[in-house]
Structure 1
Amino acid sequence: MLNGQDGFCWVLSTPKQSLGFILADGGFDVWIANTRGTKSSRKHTSLTPEDPAFWDWTWDQLADYDLPAVLQFVFNQTGGKKVHYVGHSLGTLIILAAFSEHKLLDIVRSAVLLCPIAYLHRMRSKLIRLAAHIFLAETIHMLGYHEFNPVGRVAQEVLGAVCTEIDCYDLFGAVAGPDCCLNTSTTCIFLQHGPQSSSIKNMIHMSQLVRKEGIRKYDYGNKKENMKHYNQPQPPLYNLSSIPPHVPLFHTHGGQDFLGDVPDTRHLLRTLVRQHDSDDIEVMYMPDYAHGDFVMGYNAPQLIYKPMVEFFKRH
């Protein structure tokens, strides 16, 4: 799972380059999930994307409801076989949040964390940091907007204002870091297919992680609302140190990643490594890689996916 894109990203390149095809060719039964709000996930039993309630969610709900539903469905459909999970970016945050609350442990066999985001307090993206610290998402929400469409009119107006403060010539690089290993054809397909929508409320929640240390559930902004939802004045922390040590983890991150930056990622690693035996956690550091390289890099099959498949086979 990943954020801002649907599952097409796992198969957007050639069969020799795309992780989805590589895993299928390796004998794995591949299931691709979509995040709420993306082009492939805009249906609801009673709501439409025009209803504000359709967008009333953050990654808390992805970790609490969506991810467990997807993985339980796969588990049931495959006759009770435990699942190897692959998450990129937001897909790593929600599996870590679920694990920290001891969810999914009975159906997940191992988890791959591609450029994980969890602690975001020291992220390098000047664009995201500025947006978080001027409470941009909160302002857009107060104006009555609920869907965040990165290529929509509101986003274009916001970028027009923000990019007077920051050089946004290479927008993808300004947000996620300068990728080293993308080819032109794959990048063109990616840009034709996305980026895609999320909820403004989810953007607010991500901004809260940037402004404050630690990983907490969504902060409703006042003690009364937090008491209503959590029975305490502050939103609860996700305690990642409580993740059980027996879940095998494959963790890989990049030195040029502006979202999952090195200091925050190493803080996450210290938290996870303390709990895990060395046989159950594998760490790969790619000094030249940025956020997009892990999904679209022309050398990712050899550098990332091959050791990932070997990790799956060991576990």
Structure 2
Amino acid sequence: MLQGTLIALASFAEGRLVDKLKSAALLSPVAYLAHMSTPIGIFCAKAFVGEVVTDLLGVAEFNPKAEIVTNFLKTICHGPLNCYEFMESYTGDNCCLNASSIEKFLKYEPQPTSTRTMVHLAQTFREGVLAKYNFSEEENMKRYGQSTPPVYKLSNIPRSLPLFVSYGGQDSLADSSDVDLLLNDLKLHDRDKLTVHFVKDYAHADFVMGVSAKQVVYNSLIAFFDRN
């Protein structure tokens, strides 16, 4: 959800994909990370700068199940963080998961991603805005024609694009304050094209694995798609 919604919002802001979609649903959307409160997320956001990652991990792929990354996570979990409840250490206090859903999640997740993606997310947290990847000033000039990376203007998302935005009050990744910043960017969106759905007790993982997600989230989501 984190990476998917970020990619979607950045694409919409640049006019991409919008001609291929009738509508879009964003669950626990991430555009801003300034209020992220997950301890492991904050630690990694402060640690994941290009030089540190290159020296520490030395790989282009960040694979949480690889030995070198596993050792890295073990180090921080026995150092500044208590990762006994690893999932909740980065998703928030999920209200509605059961043992089987957590077991299935940990069997397949977390999946590998590029190290640059991790660095970009860290930049988003530290800078407080959603911008393109920040290289060196020299490289930024080559790629963007300016010394700093361009900021995605989310207010440029077409106002007529039907959007379903669902977020939770206990989410440590997509904090409700950050979602409010996104909704402020969408304040001029056509009123009948923006559906905002807030679930007070839900954290990040509840939206995909919560035992009540069908009734609490997906019935409303399907109704939105039916209308659009």
**TM exceeds 0.5?**
yes
Counterpart check, 1:217 vs 2:132: yes
Tell me the distance in 2 between the aligned counterparts of 1:292 and 1:138: 31
Partner of 2:74: 160
CA contact (8 A) 2:124 2:131 kept: yes
Contact 2:48 2:118 in 1 (8 A): no
Match of residue 287, structure 1, among 175, 192, 200: 200
CA drift of 1:105 comes to 1.6
Alignment pair present for 1:255 and 2:169: yes
Q: 1:203 aligns with which of 91, 104, 118?
A: 118
Structure number having the greater helix percentage = 2
| Aligned mates of 1:225, 1:159 — CA distance in 2 | 31
TM norm structure 2: 0.95
Match of 1:89 in 2: 2
Whole-angstrom distance in 1 between the partners of 2:2 and 2:137 = 30
Deviation at 1:131, TM superposition (A): 1.7
Tell me the secondary structure at the aligned position of residue 92 of structure 1.
helix
Paired with 1:166 and 1:108, the residues of 2 have a C-alpha distance of 42
Alignment correspondent of 2:181: 267
Deviation at 1:137, TM superposition (A): 6.1
Aligned pairs for 1:108-257 (under 5 A) are: 108-135=21-48, 138-143=51-56, 144-163=58-77, 164-220=79-135, 222-257=136-171
Stretches of structure 1 that go unaligned for 5 or more consecutive residues are 1-87
SS of the equivalent of 1:227 reads helix
TM-score under structure 1 length normalisation? 0.69
Deviation per CA, 1:220-264: give whole Å up to 9, x if none. 1x2111111111111111000111100001000011111101111
Instruction: Flag structure 2 segments of 5+ consecutive residues without an equivalent.
Output: none
Amino acid in the other structure paired with 1:244: P
Aligned residues: 226
Distance 1:110 1:233 in 2: 35
8 Å CA contact 1:138–1:204 kept in 2: the answer is no
Report which structure shows greater RCO (CA 8 Å, sep ≥6). Answer: 2
- In 1, the alpha carbon distance for the partners of 2:222 and 2:180 equals 24
Q: Deviations over 1:155-201 (max 9, x none)?
A: 22222222211221111100111211112112212211221100111
